């Protein structure tokens, strides 16, 4: 057990004097997660809102597909995106493989069903009296939609924070599509996996602690949205 | 003068089950109508139809008001919903939806006083969570009064509030009637009906328990009204 204590002590030292490699891993993690979440929210929020709010033929089928994709294995996502962005793939000429944007595409694919399905669920779960109240106050269809979205804001915030938490802790996609290149695509999770395999616990634990701190922050946000959403 | 509402053979069904059948009903401009009857007889359904929240399964519902009835008719739900916003934002929501920006504070004060709040300013920034059930109902009514509706539909407005809130609601509705607003109110509250001097229309029975003939009866004999 001594190596764990040593590792923890070294991790705290590393955290206090962040070296270039640790800093680069944190930056790569935040950047790729940021790109992925931006894309997932831009595509997923309108799609999820439409699925939860509008009534159109095929809505249930789309909802079923989106719910099923929640259980999509991350290695399969990595494999599929790899097939598209590899040099022989349809997007090969864009040179995305082993880059942060390439990784972010995979992570966005991971986050998208979460954002779509849970946004739809948040909208469906809204008190039906909300829509009726808006209509009885003379709201026009677009105003009803806009205010419905506003009423779901805390639930949707919770969806985004949950998806962020899922993406930032993901390792398989980052490893397959990023290649774990030091100072480039090495994220905190892939660095932890690598350092652990090398027996370098200090570096691994230091990065793990940073990840834990981020998870704590994410959970604080989740708790905030949950509390506000219940009101 | 043609009536404001004219309904004939109005039927509503939910998932194939008939929840309302109304052979005839007319409502004149400025009239006060009390819809009575046992639970499940279709009072709330009728109000939702009159508020144009839903379309009837069959029959005719004619409204002789403006071209966009939803801008003239408003409905206060039995268990009123307030948005996740301040009391002021809730009361002035309908006006802001109509792009009105002037005089909101004055209208807010006036409508909140009308529903019995002595110090509306103190409540303006309060969140809906900080209101009791009776206060929520009164705030929701204030939001409807702010619109100066041509038709005010009320679904059991006093059923879930205490006596004090109930009295405030009755007074506010009476003032509304005094201004010539058409009021249609589903209620079991005899005091409310008396206070409003409303014409009573009894919807009679649960539709899944009896045959639909002779659907509604009017306490004033109706002259072909209901």
Nearest residue of A to residue B154, measured between CA atoms: A136
pLDDT at B1: 67
Give the DSSP letter of residue B210: S
* Cβ neighbours, 10 Å, residue B145: 26
Q: Residue for token digits 């962020």?
A: A164
Mean pLDDT in chain B? 87
The H-or-E segment that residue A188 falls in is helix A188-198
Among A13-17, A183-187, B74-78, B101-105, which stretch is predicted with the lowest mean pLDDT? A13-17
Q: How confident is the model at residue A205 (pLDDT cuts 50, 70, 90)?
A: confident
Is the alpha carbon torsion for A62, A76, A182, A198 positive or negative? positive
Token pair in block for residue A4: 């764990």
pLDDT at B224: 36
Buried b (16+ CB within 10 A) or exposed e, A154-193: bbbbbbbbbbbbbbbbbbbbbbbbbbbeeeebbbbbbbbb
Q: How far apart are CA A139 and CA B31, in angstroms?
A: 26
Residue B184 pLDDT > 80 = yes
Residues 6 or more apart whose CB falls under 8 angstroms from that of A2 comprise: none
Write out the residues of chain B at the interface with chain A, using a CB-CB cutoff of 8 A. Answer: 48, 51, 53, 70-71, 74-77, 79-84, 93-94, 97-98, 127-129, 140, 143-144, 147
Residue B219 pLDDT > 70 = no
ipTM of predicted assembly, 2 dp = 0.87
Token pair in block for residue B118: 């002595």
Buried b (16+ CB within 10 A) or exposed e, B185-214: bbbebeebbeebebbbbbbbbebeeeeeee
CA distances from B201 to A8, B25, B30, B142 (A): 78, 9, 16, 26
Mean pLDDT, residues B101-130 taken together? 93
What distance lies between CA B223 and its chain's CA centroid? 24
Q: What is the pLDDT of residues A118-159, one digit of tens each?
A: 999 999 999 999 999 999 999 999 999 999 999 999 899 889
Q: Residue for token digits 């801008």?
A: B71
pLDDT at B222: 37
Q: What is the pLDDT of residues B50-61, one digit of tens each?
A: 999 999 999 999
Q: Å from A156 to nearest chain B CA?
A: 14
The H-or-E segment that residue B35 falls in is strand B32-36
Q: Is this structure's pTM higher than 0.80?
A: yes
Give the DSSP letter of residue A86: S
CA distances from A80 to A73, A90, A179 (A): 11, 12, 15
pLDDT at B218: 60
* Nearest in space to B98 (alpha carbons), one of A141, A140, A146: A140
The H-or-E segment that residue A14 falls in is helix A2-16
Q: What is the pLDDT of residues A86-125, one digit of tens each?
A: 999 999 999 999 999 999 999 999 999 999 999 999 999 9
* Cβ neighbours, 10 Å, residue A117: 24
Token pair in block for residue B70: 């939803």
Nearest residue of B to residue A137, measured between CA atoms: B94
Q: Å from B221 to nearest chain A CA?
A: 31
Cβ–Cβ below 8 Å for B97 and A137: yes
Mean pLDDT, residues B86-105 taken together? 95
- The answer to whether the beta carbons of residues B180 and B210 sit under 8 Å apart is no
Residue A231 pLDDT > 70 = no
Token pair in block for residue B100: 């009105």
Q: What is the pLDDT of residues B124-159, one digit of tens each?
A: 999 888 899 889 999 999 999 999 999 999 999 988
pLDDT at B191: 82
Q: How confident is the model at residue B226 (pLDDT cuts 50, 70, 90)?
A: very low
The closest CB to that of A133, out of B70, B81, B147, belongs to B81
Say what percent of chain B tops pLDDT 90. 64
Nearest residue of B to residue A132, measured between CA atoms: B53
Q: How confident is the model at residue A189 (pLDDT cuts 50, 70, 90)?
A: very high
Q: How confident is the model at residue A28 (pLDDT cuts 50, 70, 90)?
A: very high
Q: How confident is the model at residue B221 (pLDDT cuts 50, 70, 90)?
A: very low
pLDDT at B190: 83
Q: What is the pLDDT of residues B35-83, one digit of tens each?
A: 998 888 899 999 999 999 999 999 999 999 888 898 999 999 998 999 9
Report the alpha-carbon angle A222-A223-A225, nearest 5: 65
Higher pLDDT, A113 or A200: A113
Say what percent of chain B tops pLDDT 70. 89
Reduced to 3 states (helix: H, G, I; strand: E, B; else coil), residue B60 is strand
Q: Report the interhelical angle of A100-124 vs A74-85 (nearest 10°).
A: 130
Residues 6 or more apart whose CB falls under 8 angstroms from that of B221 comprise: none
SS (H, E, C) chain B: CCCCEEEEEEEEEECCEEEEEEEEEEECCCCEEEEECCCCCCHHHHHHHHCCCCCCCEEEEEECCCCCHHHCEEEECCCCCCCCCEHHHHHCHHHHHCCCCCCHHHHHHHHHHHCCCCCHHHHCCCEHHHCCHHHHHHHHHHHHHCCCCCEEEEECCCCCCCHHHHHHHHHHHHHHHHCCCEEEEECCCHHHHHHHCCEEEECCCCCCCCCCCCCCEECCCHHHCC
pLDDT at B205: 55
Cβ–Cβ below 8 Å for A147 and B83: yes
What distance lies between CA A191 and its chain's CA centroid? 18
Higher pLDDT, B154 or A201: B154
Backbone dihedral region for residue B15 (phi beyond 0: left; psi -120 to 50: alpha; all else: beta) = left
């Amino acid at each position: 057990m001594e190596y764990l204590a040593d590792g923890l002590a070294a991790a705290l030292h590393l955290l206090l004097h962040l070296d270039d490699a640790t800093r680069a891993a944190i930056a790569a993690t935040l950047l790729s997660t940021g790109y992925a979440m931006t894309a997932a929210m831009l595509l997923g929020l309108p799609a999820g809102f439409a699925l939860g709010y509008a009534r159109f033929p095929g809505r249930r089928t789309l909802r079923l597909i989106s719910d099923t994709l929640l259980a999509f294995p991350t290695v399969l996502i990595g494999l599929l995106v790899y097939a598209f962005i590899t040099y022989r793939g349809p997007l090969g000429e864009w040179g995305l493989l082993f880059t942060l944007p390439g990784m972010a595409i995979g992570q966005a694919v991971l986050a998208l069903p979460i954002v779509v399905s849970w946004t739809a669920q948040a909208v469906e779960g809204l008190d039906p009296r909300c829509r009726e109240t808006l209509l009885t106050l003379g709201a026009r269809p677009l105003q009803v939609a806009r205010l419905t979205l506003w009423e779901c804001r805390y639930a949707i915030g919770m969806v985004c924070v949950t998806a962020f938490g899922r993406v930032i802790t993901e390792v398989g996609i980052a490893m397959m599509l990023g290649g774990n290149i030091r100072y480039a695509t090495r994220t905190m999770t892939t660095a932890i996996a690598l350092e652990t395999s090398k027996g370098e616990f200090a570096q691994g634990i230091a990065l793990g602690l940073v990840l834990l701190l981020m998870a704590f922050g994410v959970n604080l946000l989740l708790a905030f949205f949950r509390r506000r959403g219940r009101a | 003068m043609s009536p404001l509402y004219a309904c004939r053979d109005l039927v509503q069904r939910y998932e194939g089950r008939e929840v309302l059948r109304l052979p005839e009903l007319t409502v004149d401009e400025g009239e006060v109508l009390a819809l009575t009857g046992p639970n499940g007889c279709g009072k709330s359904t009728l109000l939702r139809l009159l508020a144009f929240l839903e379309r009837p399964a069959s029959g005719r519902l004619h409204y002789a008001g403006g071209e966009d009835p939803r801008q003239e008719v408003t409905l206060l739900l039995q268990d009123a919903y307030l948005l996740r916003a301040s009391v002021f934002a809730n009361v002035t929501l309908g006006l802001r939806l109509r792009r009105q920006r002037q005089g909101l504070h004055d209208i807010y004060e006036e409508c909140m006083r009308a529903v019995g709040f002595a110090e509306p300013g103190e409540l303006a920034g309060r969140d809906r969570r900080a209101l009791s059930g009776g206060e929520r109902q009164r705030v929701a009514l204030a939001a409807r009064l702010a619109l100066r509706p041509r038709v005010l539909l009320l679904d059991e407005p006093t059923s879930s509030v205490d006596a004090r809130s109930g009295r405030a609601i009755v007074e506010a509705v009476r003032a509304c009637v005094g201004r010539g607003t058409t009021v249609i109110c589903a209620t079991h509250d005899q005091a409310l009906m008396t206070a409003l001097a409303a014409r009573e229309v009894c919807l009679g029975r649960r539709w899944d328990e009896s045959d639909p003939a002779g659907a509604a009866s009017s306490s004033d004999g109706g002259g072909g009204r209901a």
